[in-house]
Amino acid sequence: MTSLRTVIDVGIGDLLPARTDLTELHVRAGSDAARVELRRTAPACAFAGTGPTKVLVTGFQPFPADGWHENVSAVAVTAMNPANVRGAQVMRLVLPVEYDRAAAEVIDVIARCAPDVVISFGQGGSAIALEHTAYNLQDTGEVPGGVPDNRGIVRAAQPIDDAGPAERTTLLPLDAIERALVAIGEAPEHSTDPGRYICNNVMYQDVAHLAGRGRGGFIHLPYTTTFDDATRARFGKIVEVAIQATVDD
């Protein structure tokens, strides 16, 4: 216990004596909140669709931990229809907004399920951002006190991989994805700054674990708070088009 934080250790069995295979635990203490994903087993290698190329797409749980709306990346990933992508089987995964566990889940699925392509999506700014570079750094020091992940962890000036390079470049065909998105009326932008938070963590590991064997990278979607049917369909289509452009390139 310090002036900045109180750490409480509680057995999961005491909090959730009868939890399911996948459970979200929400904890509140005054103005503080945490949202933790609990899995009994690793995600199944559940690819849907037909075709030789195996594609993993990922989104994120709501952020911040006490956020009142869905995360646009999870909406997009769950709204896309694998049957609309030619030549590919698609696995969809929603990740926890946690520094260590988000990237670890992607690494685990790459090792167990052997996707040829991984496209990760996150909640971004005002536009679709096609990310070129991931950085070996965890830092939200631009915000006073830093930005905690959904488990309450704050990191500043810490590397993702002590032995890794300072930067890793996307393995996705961003120009082809841009052309395909423009063709459906979207206005994507190229970006070299994915932040130094969980999205950057995931992109760094996507690229690291697919280098020399597949394609991987990250796309930020516009920050959105309300999701009617048309909005869900739009973001699902964006994911489908990004996958198709990557498979066809």
Positions annotated as catalytic residues are 131, 199, 220
CB 148 within 8 A of CB 66: no
Q: Is residue 134 a contact partner of residue 193, using CB atoms and an 8 Å limit?
A: no
Rounded to whole angstroms, the Cα distance separating 249 from 245 reads: 6
Residue 244, CB half-sphere, CA atoms under 13 Å: how many? 18
**Cβ contact 134:207 at 8 Å:** yes
